[in-house]
Every structure is written in C-alpha cells, then in structure tokens.
Amino acid sequence: MHQLGEVLISGAIIGSSYAMMAMGMSLAYGISRVFNFAYGSFYILAGFLAYTLLGWGFSFPVTFALVLPAMFGLGFAIERGALRPLRARPDWEMMVVMATLGFALLIDHLNLAIFGPFAVSLPQLAEGYVRVAGFTIAKHDIVVAATSGSLIIGLWMFLNKTRQGLAMQAVAMDITGAQVVGIPRDRMFSITFGLACALVGLGGLLLGSKYFIHYLHGWTIMVKAWVITAFGGMGNVLGAITAAFILGMVEVLVGWQFGLTWSMVGWFAAMIGMFIFRPQGLLGTWG
C-alpha cells in the first residue's frame, strides 16, 4: 500500500505538470477554434532561453521575469502580424493551422541553429526532499505542484472575475455576438495567443529539469497537450485540467504495473475509450 501511495502522489504531481502544459492550448482553442502546431516549440524555446539566462548568471526570479513576458510578446506579435491577416480569407481556419505548422518548423530549426543539437536540462528550483506522512517527495515537485495549483486558481479568477477574461469567454461562446456588443475579436485572439505562449513557456521553465530540453522534444509536448485537451473536451479549460490529472494517474499506474514503455499506450487507450463512450470529451460539448 505504501508503494501504491507513492505512485499516486507521483501521478498527482505529473498531472499538475501536464495541466500546466495543456491549459494554454485548451484556452487558445476554446477562443480561436484553431489548433496551434507551434505550441510545443514555444515550450522548448522558453526552456532554451531560461538555460541561456541561467548560464549567464541570472537568478530564477529574474529569468522568469524576462522569459515569460518575452513569450507573451512573441505569441501576441505572431498572431497579430502573421495569423490575423489570414483570417480575412474564407478558408482561414486551415490557413492558420498551416501557418502555425510553419512557425513550429521555423522555431525548431532556429533552436537547432542557435542552441545546437544537444539536449540540456535546467537546474531544479529547490534541491532535496521532504517527508510528508511517511512519503518522500522532491522539493522541486512540490514547487511545481504548488505553482500549477496557483496557476489554475489564477486563470479561473482571470477568466471569471476580470473584464478581459469575461470578454475572452464571450468570444469563445459566440464570436458574432461578441462583436455586436463591441468586443474586439481580433484583440482577444492576439491576447489569447500570447497568454497561451506564456503559459506553455512557464511549463518549459518549471519542467525543464524533469524533462530534457531538445529542439525536437516540442513535438512530444504538443502531442501530449493535444491528447489532454481532446480528452477533456476541446476548448474546455476545466476539462483539460481534469484530464491532465486522470492521464497522469494512468501514466504512473500503467508504468508501475507494466513498465514506462507502456505509459503512452495507456494514454491512447484511455483516449480511445473516452471517444467511444463520450466523443465530445470529458467536459466538452458539441458545436
């Protein structure tokens, strides 16, 4: 039972990590109805930027203060400068998806050219372990879980308690209706894209010590974020958070019983089962 308890704690920590990775994708899709292929590439870019700044002697707080606004600004600029003009086309959804795929390849090859082909790892935010109720937990994992929990609460408050968040939700529910009442659709898209990039960038900063930063690893991050988003219901942030914890538990339990090689098999088996019995996802709705 003690071993099972440690496995479940590990699953909760991994789930909190995955929730942090998937929230931005779910938020962006819920508002723009466009899948962002460059999502994982932004994760890797943030990790490489943090690795560089930390190597120059900057502290973690300063690195966070520099990288996260930069990721928001980059996402905002890409949406406004490159994606927004495509929305004037009748087939804009497919054009935007193809554009994000192009940006993914561009960012990946820029990462390769600038940072090289070798994987790097960020230092942990906190060294050592603590014992809680007889279980040994890494301090870094506690920081990640606490940050993820704070982020979930903060995002909920932003979406439900601020004018900007309520406007974003209005665009997600009815783009035409939001425009009728004066909500600037294009600005909401840009802010959402920038916020999604900042969220996944935070994931790169916090998880860069657990998962290696490599210029091609972003595709793994993107696939995992997509599975979580689809499992929870496309565009439903709460569904994505719930799905992240469920799939985190599936991953550790399958890995515990059958080996880590089977973890992703367990993921896709769970996703297929979800789509068979509830095609719209855990908390998703049709339309």
pLDDT digits (tens, 9 = 90+) for 44-92: 999 999 999 999 999 999 999 999 999 999 999 999 999 989 888 888 8
The token pair that represents 107 in the structure block: 């960012």
Quick one: angle between helices 185-207 and 218-232, nearest 10?
A: 120
- Alpha-carbon distance 10 to 166, whole Å? 35
User: What's the predicted TM-score (pTM) here?
Assistant: 0.90
CA 6 from centre of chain: 25
User: How high is the mean pLDDT of the chain?
Assistant: 88
- 257 CB-contact burial (10 Å; exposed 0-12 / middle 13-18 / buried 19+): exposed
pLDDT digits (tens, 9 = 90+) for 201-256: 998 898 888 788 999 999 989 999 999 999 998 888 899 999 999 999 998 899 88
Question: Which residue type does 13 have?
Answer: I
The token pair that represents 213 in the structure block: 């930063």
The CATH number that domain 2-277 falls under is: 1.10.3470
